[in-house]
Amino acid sequence: ENINGQSKYMQLAAQSSFKGKSDRSKYNKAARLCGNIDKIRKDYKKNLTSKSNETRQLATAMWVIDRLALRVGGEKDTEEEADTVGCCSLRVEHLKFDPNDEGGDNKEIELEFLGKDSMLFKQTIDFGSALYTENNGMGEQVYENFKRFCKKKKVTDDVFSDLTPTILNNHLKTIMDGLSAKVFRTYNASKTLQDELMKTEEAKGWKRLTAAEKVVEYNNANREVAILCNHQKTVSKAQEATLDTLGEKLETLKTQKKELKKILENMTNGKKKKIPLKKNIKEEQEKVAKALEKAKSMKEKAKTKEEKIAATEQDEKAKQMRKELGELKFTQNHLWEKEPSKDQVVKKIENWKEKIKKMELNIKHKDDNKEVALGTSKLNYMDPRISVAWCKRNDVPIEKVFSKTMRDKFNWAMAVPPEWLFNEEIAKQG
């Protein structure tokens, strides 16, 4: 540019056609693994028992990348950068055998290290479980290999001492053109999402679920993918406070439903008990409106430091008054301004049942996902066409699972039919 004489770099918008073609190509490449995965797994499983230590380490690393979705990991200057770790850079100190001291034939290893963006990866893997042994999964052999690779080594030594990222990446390219650890992660993320969603669709009573309940099941499937890919986030104080507030509101709704049922019971039994009515809060509303207007006026006129402080204090006071008014409204939302009919009470009880159900789902969703970053896998690893097809099959609005940013980014995926599947056939589309 002609002001500072420096180069300017421009990035294409997420919703641009070039980005869309790149994303589509990425997911289609991952889909190619659907047709090659059995052959790849057969190849590395055979080499898990190789007499050559180099071949055995390469096969074990392939198993880890495929089944545990670890990144390759590369060498770095830890004085300049954070000591983040991937498969090839695992050290003996990152593995803890039999972490719970169970002894016997225990096949557990606790893996603990900093992954990409210094996110903690801490999982206890039971290599003897059905998840890793059924269908000749070779989990127990991988466990034995790890023991062998760590034997007589210092805690700071590399587990895969005969393997480098270059050797591993070159090997991946010989198996399939363009294959990398990221392609494995994209494949496993997409396949896991599709399999989990299909399980829920085949479950008894699925068709009777509401759209909101189906979205909860979708988020559960999304969470499985996020856990697989170690997409985490730290829980903020604001999140904890939101959960506490929602919990209190839920209890209030349940109490209100009990009161409504008691009113209905008295009406049904002909008991002439006075029905509580809403308190008139017009005076409180006027006070809050005046306080907010006063705060706004003080902010506009404030010039000195003292005036600005006074304006801020007035603003905080007004907002607190508004909050308290909202709480007062909420506590008497279930009541009427004049005495209701029996039908009105019955209708309100049904409404409150729906409100409670919806809030319970909301709390469960927020609590289950407070430590898991669902958005990362949605944006970068799960083929968006799986989600679009699922929404169409199940009459769920796409905005319930994709934000506007995601809908813009994946506009190329929106036209897929409801029966669309992530498989090797779509890989032929390029």
Residue type for position 260 = L
CA distance 224 to 228: 6
- 350 burial level (CB within 10 Å; 0-12, 13-18, 19+): exposed
Catalytic: which of 27, 44, 143, 381? 381
User: Would you state the structure tokens that stand for residue 17, as one six-digit string?
Assistant: 């056609």
User: Would you state the structure tokens that stand for residue 356, as one six-digit string?
Assistant: 């409670």
According to DSSP, residue 111 is labeled E
Whether 126 contacts 116, CB under 8 Å: no
Whether 378 contacts 406, CB under 8 Å: yes
Residue type for position 264 = L
How many C-beta neighbours within 10 Å does residue 331 have? 13
Q: Is 381 among the residues known to form the active site?
A: yes
Closest CA to 170 of 62, 313, 70, 299: 62
Whether 397 contacts 391, CB under 8 Å: yes
User: Would you state the structure tokens that stand for residue 141, as one six-digit string?
Assistant: 């052999």
Catalytic residues: 381
